[in-house]
Amino acid sequence: MQNSVNGQQQLAREDFKEELLSDYKVAVTSRECSLLGRREVLTGKAKFGIFGDGKELPQLAWARSFENGDFRSGYYRDQTFMMAIGELTIEQFFAGLYANTDINDEPMSAGRQMGGHFATHSLNEDGSWKRLIDQKNSSADISPTAGQMPRLLGLAQASKVYRNNDLIAADNGFSNKGNEVAWGTIGNASTSEGHFWETFNAAGVLQVPMVISVWDDDYGISVHAKHQTTKESISKIQAGFQRDEKHDGFEIMVVKGWDYVALVETYEKASKISREQHVPVLIHVDELTQPQGHSTSGSHERYKDEDRLKWEREYDCNVQFRKWLIDNDFATEEELSELEKSIKKQVREGKKAAWNAYLNPITSERDEAVTLINAVADISSNGVFIKPLAEKLKGEKEPYRKDTFEAVRKTLRYTLQEKHDAITALNNWLTENKERVQEKYSSNLYSESVESAVQVEAVAPIYDETSEDVDARLIMRDNFDALFATHPEIMVFGEDAGRIGDVNQGLEGMQEKYGELRVADTGIREATILGQGIGLAMRGLRPIAEIQYLDYLLYCLQLMSDDLATVQYRTAGKQKSPVIIRTRGHRLEGIWHSGSQMGGIINLVRGIHVLVPRNMTQAAGFYNTLMASDEPALVVECLNGYRLKEKLPVNLGEFRTPIGKVETLREGKDITLISYGSTLRIVDEAATELERAGIDVEIIDAQSLLPFDLNHEILESVKKTNRLLVIDEDVPGGASSYILQQIVDVQNAWPYLDSKPQCIAAKPHRPAYGTDGDYFSKPSVDDVFDKVYDIMNEVNPTKFPKHS
């Protein structure tokens, strides 16, 4: 019996030894990739490098507790973790460094992000969801400091929703009864950012299964922790968040980053608490190092003294792990040295394979182009200038695609006055390859699946004899009611969105009917309201994140721009987050809540649809359209439209406002007027005045700014009227200029214009308070009338005379 027990113990120890050596192999592999990666940058093969060296050991411990269905929301130090869960190979590491545009070689972003930015694939080739519960998941990284934190909140909250929403099918592919943990990582210095604090507080309030690891190496780039964090310790200053018998809160743990046993125990404990109890956990991993400094842009010897550098060499986590393995008889010095030698060879070979996979297609394109350029040189009168282009290109041992395309285009410039089959062949090569290659860098800004928002067919509102004129807010409320009744995955949250049904009563009674889980109030924290939406949508739910007023959107505009707008693009179509952002604005009086920051918004959030309905029926139709699509959008409701009367449709929840399509509200022959939102009421009133003056205007509602008039209907209007005026309440050069650029440049309307196209916008300042402040700050009926009349006076001063 004793022999059997001893045999089992020996077998268990051998299995454990194998696991330990496997971990050590990953740690050494990751470190070698970092070291060799830095050299690749310094030799010019890669543009920039930022690596995870010094953080290997805690990431190995974390990987042991990371289960299928779990999500990571981290930053660019987590390469060891990705290797440990089997989602990053040596070749893929270097493919990211070289910016390989083949998604099969570089699955993180197809070369669109620099190395160190990691993602897994949530979507199938057709854009449909994979079974996320069957894989380990990483939401796509972004570089902006702490920008990954708000999204983490939503990823964690999704587990809470799936655990408590019985209307969602148990076998949904996204969650196993809410047992998934969302794991976040952040550097110690980045915890100074507001996004971290806002997320931390919100997680404590919501009590979601979130584990935040803080990698603490005592510095933020070159700046010591004493300049970053009070008491130089994030766990000490967060101690007030520690839960106790009377209060919910966080479980806070501190562990040394070089202590393998303690790390494994800490992560196992954190996983169990968070997974089972839905309690957020902070793991402060301190006494870490950063052997190569912050990045390839500089050396850490510049700001660390010799005592610190000596300590880092001794307490490097890989060094300590190696020592522990030897001291505990899991391996000998010779065994580990041989293993390390083998790994270095594997990394070198992997680097070489990745470089060849990156370079070979580019070289092949180059060789094709050289042959064609030489053929042109042989027949061109400018051959003496063209031949050197081919020779120089051929001589490039490690060419960029840029080199090839520059040489081809320059060759074609030399032959503008010539015709020959060789020139035609080169021009055809350029046309075909430019389109093909451009796709590698520009695809997937928006969804390219069958669920793309612009593919959703319009459905008109239906009215019958029972349809009444009602306060417009009731259309919004009753339409939301219809959506909530038929889509159990919908939820809405925001300031005052729950108990009182939002400040304008568009959600009146919804919380009482559908519960606090699906219709919820939040704290005053716009960034994490949006973060909730991003994370929830990444896990298959359909959140509506309510930002109370348009100018409050500025609090979360960074996340909209850097995170949400780039999800599909930065993953080359392998992740999506179809969150709907609901807000309201336009035509109010005063500096706050009344501006129209559209120019800034539309130029910062390409990748998100921006919809500007003029009334609540139109807005409700947009929500219905978006629920049939798989894309994110911002819907800006007219704040002064909730109490206006509109007819109540009978097909609530079913009618759909088309995205990217304009609507002609009034036909005319003299001039085309373009506007959107509440300003259209000003334009319509001015049109009545203009009609009395003998001017017949055509009014078109833009409806959506991103995308804008995909069918070029405005062009057809301009062909008829030959004149154009764009009116909006944004600052000069804002959205009105964008609209004008779209019409004149994209739609090519300028040949049909007989008068200068013009814009009317608000004054450059925020609107002044009061009725008079509005009149003298924003376009008025009088302004629209005068501008149109001036245009017509220039056309026909006799028919449209002006006072001298």
Active site residues: 593
Q: Please tell me the number of Cα atoms within 13 Å of 677 on its side-chain side.
A: 30
Query: Closest Cα partner for 234 from 259, 211, 256, 216?
Result: 216
Query: Closest Cα partner for 313 from 54, 644, 634, 133?
Result: 54
CB atoms under 10 Å from CB of 22, counted, come to: 12
Residue 235 and residue 282 in contact, taking contact as beta carbons nearer than 8 Å? yes
Work out the burial of residue 299: count CB atoms within 10 Å of its CB; fewer than 13 is exposed, 13-18 middle, 19 or more buried.
Answer: exposed
Q: Exposed e or buried b for every residue in 57-86, given b needs 16+ CB within 10 A?
A: bbbbbbbbbbeebbbbbbbbbbbbbbbbbe
Residue in the structure block whose two tokens are 């912050």? 294
Q: Is the peptide bond before 707 cis (omega within 30 degrees of 0)?
A: yes
If you compute the radius of gyration of the chain from its CA atoms, what whole number of angstroms results? 30
| Per-residue CA distances from 512 to 515, 642, 719 (Å) | 6, 21, 53
Structure tokens at 373: 């350029």
**C-alpha–C-alpha distance, residues 706 and 561, integer Å:** 14
Report DSSP letters for 722-754, one per residue: --EEEE-SSPTTSHHHHHHHIIIIIS--GGG-S
**C-alpha–C-alpha distance, residues 675 and 678, integer Å:** 9
- The pairing of strands 251-256 and 490-494 is unpaired
Residues 6+ away with beta carbon under 8 Å from 124: 130
**C-alpha–C-alpha distance, residues 400 and 415, integer Å:** 24
Distance of CA 754 to the CA centre of its chain: 42
Q: Where are the alpha helices (DSSP H) in 443-520?
A: 472-486, 510-514
Query: Closest Cα partner for 182 from 161, 165, 167?
Result: 161
